[in-house]
Chains A and B, each alone.
Chain A
Amino acid sequence: DAGVTQSPTHLIKTRGQQVTLRCSPKSGHDTVSWYQQALGQGPQFIFQYYEEEERQRGNFPDRFSGHQFPNYSSELNVNALLLGDSALYLCASSRHYSTVSNQPQHFGDGTRLSIL
């Protein structure tokens, strides 16, 4: 049973460019959340998708956008990249809380994004 998979594992971009990161959730999961983890810090919530809609958003600018597909996979898009966007981007999947409350979130190994 495959866990959460993310691609690519590493990515190098320059300031001003745009990037798309991808996530496939764990089998049986329908909800995908994205987190940003700066070096030496805990993950910070970006947003969560369920039924192809953004359900909750953290304190991130609208340069960060996302999408969820009918097969529950998801993409994170970041426009106009800044040096401060350099981080590990983590995807977490779970079953929706409306199905079973307080479902645990399972994380992928992330995409390491470096901005030059």
Chain B
Amino acid sequence: GENVEQHPSTLSVQEGDSAVIKCTYSDSASNYFPWYKQELGKGPQLIIDIRSNVGEKKDQRIAVTLNKTAKHFSLHITETQPEDSAVYFCAARDTGRRALTFGSGTRLQVQP
């Protein structure tokens, strides 16, 4: 089955700096890669997703890149703000499977 590894497990940045979280996946059939933000006491919130037919997608301060050959994808947050502090999860899924396979999460702390 699919295996997703996520790094780093914790990340501390200063307000205004950029943050990058990286994930690798094992199943070359995976073609859908969402990112979720989870705040304390809440469920995961979808913040951006990318499909395997594109290499990059942006939404304001958030961008995701995908390298299918290397089987890795990354989340980039620019101009970080204290409200970006949360746990971020990457995930992967292929068309034939219905389940998302999640990484182990990155705790991002943005210092004011």
Q: Which residues of A contact B (CB under 8 A)?
A: 4, 31, 33, 35, 40-45, 48, 55-56, 58, 90, 92, 97, 101-102, 104-110
Contact = CB atoms under 8 A, between A and B. Distances in A.
Nearest to A40: B105
What secondary structure prevails in chain B residues at the interface with A?
strand
A42 B104 contact: yes
Interface in B54-112: 89, 91, 93, 95, 97-105
A42 B101 CA distance: 9
23 contacts: A4-B43, A40-B105, A42-B4, A42-B6, A42-B89, A42-B91, A42-B103, A43-B100, A48-B99, A56-B97, A90-B43, A90-B44, A97-B95, A101-B95, A102-B32, A102-B51, A102-B93, A102-B95, A104-B34, A104-B46, A105-B46, A107-B46, A109-B42
Nearest to A42: B102
Given A55-B98, A110-B43, 8 more contacts: A4-B43, A33-B100, A40-B105, A42-B4, A45-B99, A105-B34, A106-B46, A109-B42
Interface size class of B (residues with CB under 8 A): 20 to 34
B31 interface: yes
Contacts, number: 60
B44 A43 contact: yes
B25 interface: no
A41 B100 contact: no
Nearest to A43: B102
A33 B102 contact: no
Contact of B43 (A33, A56, A101, A108): A108
Given A102-B32, A107-B36, A45 B100 contact: yes
A109 B43 CA distance: 4
